[in-house]
Amino acid sequence: MSDKISLSLRVNGASHALSVAPERTLLEVLREELRHTGTKRGCDQGSCGACMVLVDGEPVFSCLSLAVTLRDREITTIEAVEAGNELHPIQRALVQHGAVQCGFCIPGIVITAKALLDRNPHPTVDEIRHALGSNTCRCSGYARIVEAIASLTGERP
Amino acid sequence: MRYAEPETVEEGVTLLASTEHSRCIAGGATLVAMMNAGHIAPAMLVSLHRMRELFTLTESAEGLWIGAMTPHRVVAAETRLRGSMGVVRSAAGQLAHPSIRNMGTIGGSVCLADPSTEMPVALVAASARVEIAGPNGRRIVPIEDALVDRFKTSLGRGEIVTRILIPRGVEGAVGHHLRFSRVAGDYPTVSISLTLSMQGDRCVHARVVVGSCGPVPLHVTAADQRLIHSVLGEDDVAAAGQLLASAASPLDDVRGSAEYRRMLIPRLLGRALSQARELAHV
Amino acid sequence: MSHSPKPGPTPTPVGDILGRSVPRLEAREKVTGRAVYTDDMTLPGMLYGALLGSPHPHARILSYDTSRARAMPGVRAVLTAEDLPDHRVGSVLKDQPLLARGKVLHEGEPVAAVAAVDLQTARRALQEIDIQYEVLPAVFDPEEALRPGAPVLHEQRDTYLDFQTASPERARHPNAASHIRLIEGEPDGVWERCDVIVEDVYETPAQQHIYMEPCSTLASVDRDSGKITLYTSTQSVFRVQAITAEALGIPMSRIRVIAPRVGGGFGGKTEMTNQPITAALARAAGAPVKMTLSRTDDMRMMKSRHACRIHMRTGATRDGRILARKVRIVYDTGAYADDGPFVASVGSYFARGPYRIPHVDIECWAVYTNRLRAAAFRGFGNPQIHFASELQVDQLAEKLGMDPIDFRIRNALETGERWLGGAPVESGTLKDCLERARDASDWVRRRSQRAASPGKRRGIGVAAVGHVSGLLGSSATVRLNEDGTLTVNTGAVDIGQGSDTALAQCAAAALGLSLEQINYSGPDTDVSPYDWCTGGTRTTFTVGRVITQACEQVKQQLFEHASEMLSRPVQQLELRPGGIVGVQGAPDASVTFGAISARALYFKGGPIIASSRWLFPPTPIDTRQTSAQGLASMGNGFFVFAAQVAEVEVDELTGKVELLEAWSVHDVGRTINPAAAEGQIQGGFVQGLGYALTEELVWGEGHLLNPSMSSYKVPGALDVPVGIHPILLEHPSGEGPFGAKGVAEVSLVGVAPAVCNAIRHATGATVTRIPATGERVLRALLSREEAGSKG
């Protein structure tokens, strides 16, 4: 059995005092300890992007991040993307463009798109496609996802 | 499993040297994936996250020292990596996909010594040197001496890669990395890193390194020499490519057969050279 | 309540909801992360389940020792076949135990299961289970498995319950799960009448579904009644209920199945996944158990598309008519049959393609091998046969000097003609699809001008597609609430394709309500009317039909009340948008649904409610046209057509193929929700692109070499163009709701041949094996160049 480590994790602006084994991933801590189940487990290998969260504003795989290494970092999950009860423009665009199918990849895609637009409010279509390079969607063929994000920047695919 | 976050390299060295089956954790991208798959279960993880010196970039007369904990994303954006040093920047900007580039570090790439990833290939092309801290102090070794075999380095127990020197290289040279993979973001089937300098139509410097085609990045001096003083004509490229292909020892895997990889080497070499010449505007 | 077994007239939509791209009902909860999938659920006292996979492709189980695992702290249940009833399941051929029994038949086959207080403990306990095996010779190639003396997987095959028709050939081959023979015309004597003949062998891979949500089940058992409740990621709650009952020997009245949100299926979540074993763990542990497979376990333990080898010969006459075809199809169904016999039946049924070919001889096998079981996957046996057929059709056109689209149009089945086996084509719109594809893709120009990037060659290719929409049984109940809003109950599972929204739109359009006035309830075997499965491109078509029929009955009940309330005969009444019955030509004379419902509930007639049911009528093989043997008939379905065009660039140096742009033209009958239909088409196209270019499970000596998403590659955003153009044609059917037809599977079926025909157009090289990896294409290019330089 592993030692448990006490640590404080900052998730969506709130501090959580936790005691976790060092091999526990951020994904497991989010889903099982904090019950933030919007972040999805798809592959455990950093290959699908369903578990994407922001750490200090950069999209990372929570399945490959050990929780104990993240003290003092600012973690943002899908649960914090809405402002109050208002959908984030990315979320609204995905809804309106019919980009959502089974939805399992969508929280990760929202997170990736948010990181992109926070850094670069007017990405080209190619920049959007490159930014989505860590996210797999098996339903949509990506066209409507790219189109939805591009609609926020005035770009036309 | 135990876990420690020492603040200095020396403390980390002491911990690693004194604990059986201990591992450093840098970005985690590969180590945690292997833990998740049940392939490894270290007795102790020594995190490098608090060692400030591993995050620093320092320019010197020799070149740029890159701290081992620098993520690929930062390397890819580092404008001081120009000329032939650009081969490292080019590889860092292309490897895997965005979130891996956010997580993975240059030091982690060296320590993993995965022959099918890009960074070791680019570092060999750049003639990089690696600073290693250990129980007997620090030493600096050429990158080729650090990479011993598939997933095997020359690091001894208790040793940590602290920083990597990218030397300035040949005046007027350019660096370029070309990857070929089944789909975007996959491990490359074959990759080529090179530095190149031309005078008019004639090549005056070439250093070509091939990835995913052997236990360590493949560098064949005779292939470089076949290119130097040539005009990089079809025959020259084919001959150099053939030297590399016959020295290669690729494996069959789901990304391609060994034979296909051997076929690709001269073909991609030609493309990599012409792309590099475009960069150099010659 | 009553039902109407015969279809009523297609209703006229009321209001403007039909044909609108309304956002999905559940889109908001999905973009916020609030949508609940099975793994997001927890129950008090819940345990975690995990499965132990076989290390061998074929071995006899000599003994189990589970004592160390059982003794571990935190372990609550350990199961092997010794702890389970000896029942086998399967949709046609009941050959599969819940855990390997007697022998293991593929690497990764579940052989033991554990429930523990957390997943880490469960996984450690699996390592403590000691199983002694005697390794047996294995067979990995279906053709080898058919040879005399090959290792036999199912020695007791002939004792299994089997719903296929007899085949003497199957009886002679112990590894054959199915053998089918279909003959029309006089295929033996016809070949000398053919002016051109093409013949080749085609190979297609075991593609994996890679639904984003791995298989997951949460099982709980009521301690007093023994009733099991399963929350599970499935395509059919009713099939799960039946299979779990069958596997565990429990009456269906003691099993309830609920599907929360499902993160994709594509056929992989039909029939059994991990539901019965999770239920067995919960019963053994006396506590709820959740079992979510890791991606690697999902890839090793669940299912794939059938790998297939097809030997096909097709001949045509100088005037451009296809005259004859002879084909031998061998599907590798892996260790267990699952839906393999159906897949073989459907594959045979499509082996003539959407063409009139007077003389055909079809032989089809589904064969056991020591590999992962193959099962349903979008297209269901049809992508394999279309790959071979559409490549040959292109080659025939070339030999005849005809344009590939013209040649297809000349041979395309038209309305009133008969499919293989004799079923009539009621809506033969392939010609329209092909013509539209030609116009939309600027075919003629692109076919002749092929300027490519340096080092690349460019080409454009087409495939015609015939598929079916429909199959089997569905039912729906529609009930007017007291305020005049509507509750719609069906058992259909929305696996992400958007059926909840489309079906709610059907109900709204049938009665003139807004979507806010529709309560669409999710699938729950305790309360939902039966629906067979989300599969076979059937949900919108079949369930939509029963919903609109039930709505029609509700409308009649509404009109009877309104007639009395407004003192007008029923014939003068009309539905008005918003839930209103009015009098034709009298804008002021109307009554709301709410007023009618209140009258019905409290004064006269009783609740307004109706149900409808439908079994898609199976068309038997017409024995005057076709000689048939060994079919596992599940009925057929309504024939639907499409045309798919792909423009590609081939890298001369590496052989890598890039899709530049694509057009996918579908006769959808009547569009219910354009965005949803188009999204299905784009997604199906990209899944087909993976099948065409990169996706393939690879085994070495029976060991799966790429059971992860980093080694098995599906297309990413950078691998596909944004220019995949879905084009919807509307030729209403007489069967589907408002004339709609299905589209989901169809969008994948023609992609691989369209891409490979484009490769051939670009390079002259014929690729007969997919995925058309860089390596395979480069070799095809080089061997063509070599042949060219010799010639």
pLDDT tens, position by position, C703-715: 999 999 999 999 9
Query: CB C654 to CB B264 under 8 A?
Result: yes
Among B97, B183, B267, select the one facing C654 at the smallest CB separation: B267
Give me the percent of chain C exceeding a pLDDT of 70.
Answer: 98
- Position C207 scores a pLDDT of 98
Answer whether residue C599 shows pLDDT above 80. yes
The tens digit of pLDDT for each residue in C526-543 reads: 999 999 999 988 999 999
Query: CB C31 to CB A106 under 8 A?
Result: yes
Query: CB B28 to CB A22 under 8 A?
Result: no
Average pLDDT over residues C273-291: 98
Answer whether residue C449 shows pLDDT above 90. no
pLDDT band at C10 (very low <50, low <70, confident <90, very high): low
The tens digit of pLDDT for each residue in B16-68 reads: 999 999 999 999 999 999 999 999 999 999 999 999 999 999 999 999 999 99
Among B1, B99, B102, select the one facing A23 at the smallest CB separation: B1
- Position C2 scores a pLDDT of 36
- Position C1 scores a pLDDT of 35
Hey, is the C-beta of C292 within 8 angstroms of any chain A C-beta? Answer: yes
Answer whether residue C767 shows pLDDT above 90. yes
Answer whether residue C3 shows pLDDT above 50. no
**Chain A partners (3+ C-beta pairs within 8 A):** B, C
Among C23, C40, C212, select the one facing A95 at the smallest CB separation: C23
Average pLDDT over residues C141-155: 98
Answer whether residue B107 shows pLDDT above 70. yes
Average pLDDT over residues A27-54: 97
Provide the token pair at C443.
């075919």
Among chain A, residues having any CB pair with chain B shorter than 8 Å are 2-3, 5, 21-23, 25, 44-46, 49, 52, 58-61, 63-66, 68-69, 112, 130-131, 133-134
- Count residue pairs from A and C with Cβ separation < 8 A: 179
Query: CB C718 to CB B184 under 8 A?
Result: yes
Nearest CA distance, B11 vs chain A (angstrom): 17
Answer whether residue C616 shows pLDDT above 90. no
- Position C5 scores a pLDDT of 41
Answer whether residue A157 shows pLDDT above 60. no
Q: Is the model's pTM score more than 0.85?
A: yes
- Position A155 scores a pLDDT of 59
Burial of C487 (0-12, 13-18, 19+ CB in 10 A): middle
Hey, is the C-beta of A139 within 8 angstroms of any chain C C-beta? Answer: yes
Chain B contact set for C714 (CB, 8 A): 183
Answer whether residue C452 shows pLDDT above 80. no
Mean pLDDT value across chain B: 96
DSSP string, C151-181: PPS-TTGGGS-B-SPP-HHHHH-TTEEEEEE
How far apart CA C317 and CA C714 sit, in angstroms, is 41
Sign of dihedral through CA atoms C565, C567, C570, C574? Answer: negative
| Radius of gyration (C-alpha) of chain A in whole angstroms | 16
Nearest CA distance, B105 vs chain C (angstrom): 19
Residue C289 contacts residue C281 (beta carbons within 8 Å): yes
DSSP secondary structure letter of residue A66: B
Average pLDDT over residues C257-261: 98
Answer whether residue C91 shows pLDDT above 80. yes
DSSP string, C295-315: HHHHHHHS-BPPEEEEEEEEE
- Position B166 scores a pLDDT of 98
Mean pLDDT value across chain C: 95
Among C263, C709, C720, select the one facing A141 at the smallest CB separation: C720
How far apart CA C164 and CA C183 sit, in angstroms, is 18
pLDDT band at C166 (very low <50, low <70, confident <90, very high): confident
- Position C9 scores a pLDDT of 46
**Chain C partners (3+ C-beta pairs within 8 A):** A, B
- Position C11 scores a pLDDT of 80
pLDDT band at C617 (very low <50, low <70, confident <90, very high): confident
Residue C47 contacts residue C287 (beta carbons within 8 Å): yes
Least confident of B111-125, C464-478, C585-599, C630-644: C630-644
Nearest CA in chain C to A23: C120
C positions 51-110 inside 8 Å of A (CB): none
Residue C481's alpha-carbon distances to B55, C564, C599, in angstroms, are 65, 20, 12
3-state secondary structure of C133: strand
In 3D space, the residue among B213, B190, B200 whose CA is nearest the CA of residue B270 turns out to be B190
Residue B60 contacts residue B83 (beta carbons within 8 Å): no
Helices (H), C665-750: 674-693, 746-749
The tens digit of pLDDT for each residue in C561-590 reads: 999 999 999 999 999 999 999 999 999 999
Query: CB A104 to CB C686 under 8 A?
Result: no
Residue A110 contacts residue C31 (beta carbons within 8 Å): yes
How far apart CA C407 and CA A26 sit, in angstroms, is 58
